[in-house]
Structure 1
Amino acid sequence: MSVSPLSRTDDVDPDVRRFIQRTGADFAALAAVAPPTTITRRREICEQVRAPWARGGPDMAETRMVQFGSNGVRARIHIPQSGAGKGTLIYLHGGGWTVFSIDTHDRLMREYADRTGCAVVGLDYALSPEHRFPRALEDVEACLSWLRVDGAAYGLSTGRIALGGDSAGGNLSLATALRLRDRGEPLPDALLLNYAALDTDPRPSYKRYDGDHYMLTTDEMRDFWISYLGKPSTDDPYARPLLADLAGLPPVHLCIAECDILTDQNTELAARLEAAGVEVSAMVYKGATHSFLEAVSISACAGRALQDASDWLAGILNA
């Protein structure tokens, strides 16, 4: 495992700072018109705020929607110009299990498709609080089953499968792998974890990087956990993966933002995975905050992080 040095400064990359300022100002402006007093209104605002950042980027050879499973889960398939490749990435968007969608994270998924040369399937899993833990995990497992059984009919390569996501999506990716391992079922070939939410218990980075100027606040993270679990915490390792035995997992790549309340949870996970004998690639990006990958249209730091992960994924999926 190679973890880049972690500076203890609070300096945020200037381009990432612009991303935070713009999204914050847009949220405030929309909230002033109609306050986010309901979950529906909050989601509407979040979708509108992130819409400009989901535009642009690589053009795909093919993009299509599918629906599957008893819950009627939707997913978006992106096939890059180079073709579907030898493997497929299932990507799970962030948003505290409560907000955002495959629309807000569409550019991220197209970036991964273009940079890896593999197809990407973005899953619109059920959100909390309407559908609490473990419903989203069930949707992820349904997507894996659909891909293995029916993916080829949609032009997808199913020989190698990676599972990944950011924040809440990183949590769901790791937790799904743990559930499959414990049941003795086939595992994904790789896990991509971007600044994942891994535990309800705060770490020291919660104090170092709290506040709107670092994108994700401790109060927001607490509220997201309550939305997902229906209570502040649980002892279930499928909700809090840092409680789990981590042995027997596939190779893992961690994209860790330096200036993020979740930094310490992710560096702790990297160390624990290595101790458990899991192949780990972990990169800490100086000056990056939570959600910084979505700033790829203006941030060289986000571009580097996406390319690092894509190179790692391509080495596994296209082997």
Structure 2
Amino acid sequence: MIDPEIQAFLDEMKRRWAEHPPFGDLGFPDQRAVSEKVRARWTEGGPAMAETVERTFDPGAGELRIRVYRPAGVATPAPALIYLHGGGFTLFSIDTHDRLMREYAAAGGFVVIGVDYPLSPEHKYPVALDRIEALILWLKAHGGELGVDAARLALGGDSAGANLSFAATLRLRERGEGGLVRAILANYGYFTPEVSDRAEERFGGPGSIMDRAEAQSYYVNYLADWDAGQRDPFACPIHADLAGLPPVFLVIPECDLLTEQSLAMEERLEQAGVATMAKIYAGATHSFLEAMSVAAVAREAIRDGATFIRDRLD
């Protein structure tokens, strides 16, 4: 059963979507513009930062916009969580996730670096991944320019952002830089386009926050080669060799089309010997963290994630 506070959040989201043309009738730029408007309500309020700095630059593989959130009382150089927003590789931005990143910074007492990576289908795999990897390598050499301790970096994200967090860490491991990422925070990760009939029956279908067809359409946008991409471990990290990854915390909503993927990832991580925490949040759905202003379960998950990152970076 969906948590009543989460259901109220979903109901308001539906009302806001209904104020705009049908999503399928819009091109990608208009879809993104509508998504920003619909989610603007959920970015309001929240903790103030001692400093917020935005920067657009090329860390080595193409231009990125980043936003650096520094809460009060954090020493310099500070530990940092690099956060990758969700949106199916196609939608959303550091603006839709602004409050969530401020909440993590305030709750954990660390800097958060939000990344506006290039979106699909205009920028197919592996463009976004290339730039995220380049950013982490840039921070190794230049983190001090942002007041960040490059020896204390974590990577995290929601949905597609969780996918990119695993993929970037795997890429770094392959080049001998796996130690750069000290922890991974994976919020309702999207790790493969494969969605079971059971998941679709229980949590998808008409009226759901996300059904199988929508979820798979995002991977269609993302992958340049559908057949090869589904088995590429950097595009679908559920298929990767996960040995040697840093500690992982899987935030798992109970009522989500992608819950089965987080549970499968938990099993694979444990088999690979990775220190793994996983917690199922009763009554929560996909995107439930956005309901932080109205839902206790979202605030609980944010506190848990912030504590996990803080403890591994201290």
* Fold equivalence (TM over 0.5): yes
Q: Which residue of 1 aligns with 2:31?
A: 42
Taking the TM superposition and a 5 Å limit, the aligned residue runs for 1:35-184 are: 36-69=25-58, 70=60, 71-84=62-75, 86-184=78-176
Once the 2 structures are TM-superposed, how far is the Cα of residue 231 of structure 1 from its aligned partner?
A: 5.3
Structure 2 residue corresponding to 1:193, chosen from 171, 180, 186: 186
Indicate conservation of the 8 Å contact 1:222/1:232, yes or no: no
Helix, strand or coil: the match of 1:76?
Answer: strand
Once the 2 structures are TM-superposed, how far is the Cα of residue 63 of structure 1 from its aligned partner?
A: 0.2
Q: Name the aligned partner's letter for residue 174 of structure 1.
A: F
CA distance in 1, matches of 2:75, 2:210: 34
Once the 2 structures are TM-superposed, how far is the Cα of residue 216 of structure 1 from its aligned partner?
A: 1.6
Structure 1 residue corresponding to 2:283, chosen from 277, 284, 287: 287
CA distance in 2, matches of 1:282, 1:247: 17
Q: Which residue of 1 aligns with 2:3?
A: 13
Q: Which runs of 5+ in 2 are unaligned?
A: none
Indicate conservation of the 8 Å contact 1:113/1:120, yes or no: yes
CA distance in 2, matches of 1:125, 1:310: 22
Runs of 4+ residues deviating >4 angstroms? none
Sort the Cα spacing of 1:38 and 1:191 in 2 relative to 1 into closer, same or farther, 3 A: same
Helix, strand or coil: the match of 2:148?
Answer: coil
Q: Which residue of 1 aligns with 2:310?
A: 314
Q: Which residue of 2 aligns with 1:27?
A: 17
What is the aligned-residue identity percentage?
Answer: 45
Indicate conservation of the 8 Å contact 1:35/1:41, yes or no: no
CA deviations on 1:194-253 (whole Å, 9 max, x unpaired) are: 000011211332331103544121111011010001455522111111111111100000
Q: Does 1:222 align with 2:216?
A: yes
Which moved further from structure 2: 287-296 or 209-218?
Answer: 209-218
CA deviations on 1:5-28 (whole Å, 9 max, x unpaired) are: xxxxxx101111111111121112
CA distance in 2, matches of 1:186, 1:200: 26
Which moved further from structure 2: 120-129 or 205-214?
Answer: 205-214
CA distance in 1, matches of 2:164, 2:89: 9
Aligned alpha-carbon RMSD (Å):
1.6
Helix, strand or coil: the match of 2:241?
Answer: coil
Which moved further from structure 2: 73-82 or 18-27?
Answer: 18-27
Taking the TM superposition and a 5 Å limit, the aligned residue runs for 1:259-274 are: 259-274=255-270
Q: Which has the higher contact order (CA 8 A, sep 6+)?
A: 1
Q: Name the aligned partner's letter for residue 312 of structure 1.
A: F
Sort the Cα spacing of 1:36 and 1:84 in 2 relative to 1 into closer, same or farther, 3 A: farther
Q: Name the aligned partner's letter for residue 67 of structure 1.
A: T
Indicate conservation of the 8 Å contact 2:178/2:245, yes or no: no
CA distance in 2, matches of 1:282, 1:194: 10
CA distance in 2, matches of 1:158, 1:39: 36
Q: Name the aligned partner's letter for residue 119 of structure 1.
A: V
Once the 2 structures are TM-superposed, how far is the Cα of residue 66 of structure 1 from its aligned partner?
A: 1.4
Q: Name the aligned partner's letter for residue 284 of structure 2.
A: A
Count, aligned residues: 307
Sort the Cα spacing of 1:166 and 1:212 in 2 relative to 1 into closer, same or farther, 3 A: farther
Once the 2 structures are TM-superposed, how far is the Cα of residue 82 of structure 1 from its aligned partner?
A: 2.0
CA distance in 2, matches of 1:47, 1:236: 31
CA distance in 1, matches of 2:89, 2:74: 31
Q: Which residue of 2 aligns with 1:301?
A: 297
Q: Does 1:205 align with 2:199?
A: yes
